[in-house]
Amino acid sequence: MTTILDLTEEEVAPTGTGTSGAYERLLARLSHQSVVKHFDAYGDIDWDGEDFAIHGSDARFELGDDDPLGATEWYRSQRQEERAQIGLDVVAAKMKMGLQFESILKRGLLEFASNLPNGSPEFRYAYHEVIEEAQHSLMFQEFVNRSGLDALGLKKIDMWQARRIIALGRHFPPLFFAFVLGGEDPIDHVQRKALRKGQELHPLLERIMRIHVTEEARHLSFARQYLKNTVVGLGPIRRAILGIGAPLILSGMAQMMMQPSRQVVRIHGIPRQVISEAYRKNPSHKAETRESLRKVRQLWQELGLLRPGYRAVWRALGLIEGKSAASHAAPDTI
């Protein structure tokens, strides 16, 4: 099996990536890493291993006290088996949603690559990423199949609207890569936090998460550096579209990635007031959502897309603290 990388590896881009030559060296490095440090959904996971078997009553699937839903009195009052089953179903539903997001991402990347000229260094890396995302989708679907939940994933209207996102890969790549960061950064934040806190995880879930964060580090690095390399050349209209459109996309993506699906809420009869307590009216959850987008927010500031007018959109969507709260908090750094 391929060796799992340290969680901090491949996050930091080489010094001087603001220049064209440094950007091309970064792409070459990321493409090389995709050759020497990649995973196969079936070759690198022993799906039928005894330790990897999934049981709905496994206590390792229970939501912890640091989880918004897990911290509620309603959740803690459930039988142990029910708490574990809810936790498992939450994971399976998010994996289904994740593979659907990656389907949009792959198709958008292919649109992006189809518009590149011969000799473009982005072409090779884009195809490496498509291959890796396909392996992630296989991995996520296999987990869903074994979880016992007939996970539905995104709503039909979301899948229909996804066609517009895919088209951005060809017609407006910077906004497409804002969508990429909106889907990948929040889940990467959640998975890294889970892996670092030292709590015992189900070994199959841990294996999948470690594979995912290892390769997503490359994908996130590419999206960020592509934006740094291209946004500077955009005209005022496209910069305005990016400045306003990005927070709208990020807000919707973060909420989908960090809350239980409607299907899970319905199956387990989670009361509306519990969802409101855990998510909509929970300052801690709102702060965690903002934290999951911190790197994107810092990037947008670096790109000059967090000036007062744009910042007002972020604040209205809850992606930046209100003025009174922000005055007592440390400012974003670049």
Check pLDDT > 90 for residue 101.
yes
The residue ranking higher by pLDDT, 4 or 277, is: 277
Check pLDDT > 90 for residue 157.
no
Specify the pLDDT at position 5. Answer: 45
How far is the C-alpha of 259 from the C-alpha of 160, rounded, in Å? 21
The per-residue pLDDT for range 124-135, each reduced to its tens digit, is 999 999 999 999
Mean pLDDT, residues 189-216: 93
Which range is least confidently modeled, 141-145, 157-161, 259-263? Answer: 157-161
Distance, first Cα to last Cα, the chain: 38
Which range is least confidently modeled, 7-16, 239-248, 296-305, 315-324? Answer: 7-16
Check pLDDT > 70 for residue 332.
no
Check pLDDT > 90 for residue 94.
yes
* Residue 318 backbone class (left: φ over 0; alpha: ψ -120 to 50; beta: rest): left
Per-domain boundaries in the chain: 20-321
How far is the C-alpha of 318 from the C-alpha of 290, rounded, in Å? 8
At 323, the pLDDT band (50, 70, 90 cuts) reads low
User: Packing angle between helix 173-196 and helix 156-171, nearest 10 degrees?
Assistant: 120
The residue ranking higher by pLDDT, 163 or 302, is: 302
Task: Compute φ and ψ for 139, nearest 5 degrees.
Answer: -65, -45
Specify the pLDDT at position 241. Answer: 95
How far is the C-alpha of 305 from the C-alpha of 228, rounded, in Å? 12
Specify the pLDDT at position 20. Answer: 66
How far is the C-alpha of 35 from the C-alpha of 107, rounded, in Å? 21
Q: Are 133 and 104 in contact (CB under 8 A)?
A: no
Q: Which helix (H) or strand (E) holds 134?
A: helix 121-147
Task: Scan for tokens 């030559």, then name that residue.
Answer: 21
At 1, the pLDDT band (50, 70, 90 cuts) reads very low
Whether domain 20-321 has CATH 1.10.620.20: the reply is yes
The per-residue pLDDT for range 48-80, each reduced to its tens digit, is 999 999 999 999 999 999 999 999 999 999 999
Check pLDDT > 90 for residue 333.
no
Specify the pLDDT at position 14. Answer: 53
Number of Cβ atoms within 10 Å of the Cβ of 289: 23
3-state secondary structure 278-294: HHHCCHHHHHHHHHHCH
Structure tokens at 259: 């809350």
How many degrees, rounded to 5, is the angle at CA 129 between CA 19 and CA 137? Answer: 150
- At 277 the three-state DSSP class reads helix
Of the chain, the percentage scoring pLDDT greater than 90 comes to 81
The overall average pLDDT reported for the chain is 89
Mean pLDDT, residues 308-332: 71
| This prediction's pTM | 0.89
95 alpha carbon, distance to own chain's centre: 11
Q: Are 74 and 278 in contact (CB under 8 A)?
A: no
Structure tokens at 142: 């296999």
* Residue 6 backbone class (left: φ over 0; alpha: ψ -120 to 50; beta: rest): beta
